[in-house]
Chain A
């Protein structure tokens, strides 16, 4: 075993615990695979596997309690379904192996359910999960999905998909380590939102033996197997000092009183509580996709209004991003956009909304109604705006709907380069650093191999931010990408002229502490130092040297 693995630290803090690995996908049993000849024994094997899966689901449900108990109990019933068992038995009688027969029997029910509406589509995913669990039992493979554990563990995976983490118990995970992924991958975002340390792009981590205790430093990116008690204690002491520094509350401001509103990124009404708890002064990015994805009919204006109102009534200031969908996130109720070889470069964001103006109009009308009578300052912004003409068109559409504060996301390098032109048409800017980096460096956000290019400290990205802030010409210019949640980078962005910072709520405290420890002049000096550097590492180092308060705070 190597005595140290190294990756990219994407969520700071230290965590130590035994490794639990998420198993990869369960392979489909080959078509035509046959059993040895004893159909009765093979059928018994299939039934025993189904029962084992059902019992395991029930056990997990009982332990989880609440709503999860009902959900898992219903899944257990599916595993024990007599219709399914009968069908699998027939296929075994015809000579099929137990794994293949089970796989095909699930397939028959899958096809039956797949044709119907929303509720059924969710059941199809349940069925696939039960099928994979059963095949895994029959093959002696590890169970797919998030491992089950009574003690807190370090979750190790090649990469994590949202489906893997939906049932994750935040109290059980002390750290994440993945082989793939970059600073804006799902793992990184999830870890920061949970406030759990994470290291991504860490080669070799999936080879760590199950149960090996590792110490994970989500700041430096170090993963150390079998750490000494001293090392764990030291890492925890630093993490402790840091958390003590984060207890402060109040609005964001530099040491000399320059106000930098600290805002939250939220994905729906369910995130309001966390944003308030971490002291967000408002919402800098309200993602609205949750209302539109995974459904076959568009949400009505009443449903939208209620969801928007739940967020608008909780804060004095909310910037809503209109629907950001495209070929990579297709909407069930709109005609397919056709095959796009590069969905990130295709008809997504505002481009998709221009093709379906009724979706945008419905969203704006619902927003205007939701804000009526509330003391909130409502701002609405369009994703994927490329030039001034698109900004003007969006502003006019908003005005028609009765929304006066219409702004644009700056995610496309062309928009950053011509920020001055766009500022003439838009009331404010919000820089999405994740997409801006992806497009500036032609580097897919999801590819761990390209994470170096996704580094928000790249001087080229800082240049684009500076150009945008300057082009804003006094209009508000916020940052709502993951970069805003990095305490050192938050100071640099402030020094570049960014006027507000929006991030996942758990990052707010560290950013507040970092800003309060430095003057605006120090931030400007750090920004200049970073832009003078020739690569991301040098920029990070130069900025940190100009921001002495960070080390003292353990940030």
Chain B
């Protein structure tokens, strides 16, 4: 099980365009991907409704996890969507 703990740097948090980019990247990954706040139940990262339902704001920390071949590459890509500024 690979996971990344990352601070959300996008202005809109995990909403609007950053949320859409995040879910698009998760949907491309061949394995299950989950996302959530540290110490809380994670949700399916491929579900835009569950992801925006987390209501993660700018500056909050999230944990993204995935398992299997290519998990690390997929996670790196997901991290980039919430840390790339101007997104």
A contacts, CB < 8 Å to B:
70, 73-74, 77-78, 81-84, 109, 112-113, 116-117, 119-120, 123, 127
Contact check: which of B15, B43, B47, B52 meets A84 at CB < 8 Å? B47
A-B contact number at CB 8 A = 43
* Of the residues B16, B24, B49, contact of A81 by C-beta under 8 Å: B49
In the complex, the answer to whether B52 meets A83 with C-beta atoms within 8 Å is no
Q: Please list 18 pairs of residues, one from A and one from B, whose beta carbons are closer than 8 Å in the complex, sorted by A's number.
A: A70-B20, A74-B16, A74-B19, A77-B20, A77-B23, A77-B24, A78-B49, A83-B43, A83-B44, A83-B47, A84-B47, A109-B49, A113-B49, A113-B53, A116-B55, A120-B55, A123-B52, A127-B49
CA distance in complex: A117, B55 (Å): 9
Whether, in the assembled complex, B5 has its beta carbon less than 8 Å from a beta carbon of chain A, the answer is: no
Q: Which residue of A lies closest to B15 (CB)?
A: A119
Contact B55–A83 (Cβ < 8 Å): no
Given contacts A116-B55, A119-B15, A120-B55, whether A83 and B49 have CB atoms under 8 Å apart is yes
Return the contact of A77 from the options B43, B48, B53, B55 (Cβ within 8 A): B48
Which chain A residues border B44 with CB–CB below 8 Å?
82-83
Closest to A73 in B: B20
In-complex Cβ contact of A82 among B20, B24, B47 (8 A): B47
8 A-B pairs with least C-beta separation: A83-B47, A77-B48, A109-B49, A74-B20, A112-B53, A81-B49, A83-B50, A81-B47
How far, in whole Å, are A113 and B15 apart by their CA atoms in the complex? Answer: 12
On whether the beta carbons of A78 and B16 are closer than 8 Å, the reply is no
The smallest C-beta distance from A75 to any residue of chain B, in angstroms, reads 10
Main SS at interface, chain B: helix
* B positions within 8 Å CB-CB of A: 15-17, 19-20, 23-24, 43-44, 46-50, 52-53, 55
The CA of A457 and the CA of B19, in the complex, are separated in Å by 53
Chain B residues with CB under 8 Å of A116's CB are 55
Of A70, A82, A83, which one neighbours B17 at CB under 8 angstroms? A70
Q: Once the chains bind, are B48 and A119 in contact (CB under 8 Å)?
A: no
Cβ of A84: which chain B residues have Cβ within 8 Å of it?
47, 49
A residues in contact with B53, CB < 8 Å: 109, 112-113
A165 CA to B62 CA, complexed, in Å: 39
Q: How far is the CB of B87 from chain A (nearest CB, A)?
A: 12
B48 near A78 with CB under 8 A, answer yes
A78 to B46, CA, bound (A): 10
- A113 and B52 CA atoms in complex are apart in Å by 8
Please name all residues of chain A whose beta carbon is closer than 8 Å to the beta carbon of B16 when the two chains form the complex. Answer: 74, 119
By a CB distance below 8 angstroms, the chain A residues around B52 are: 113, 120, 123
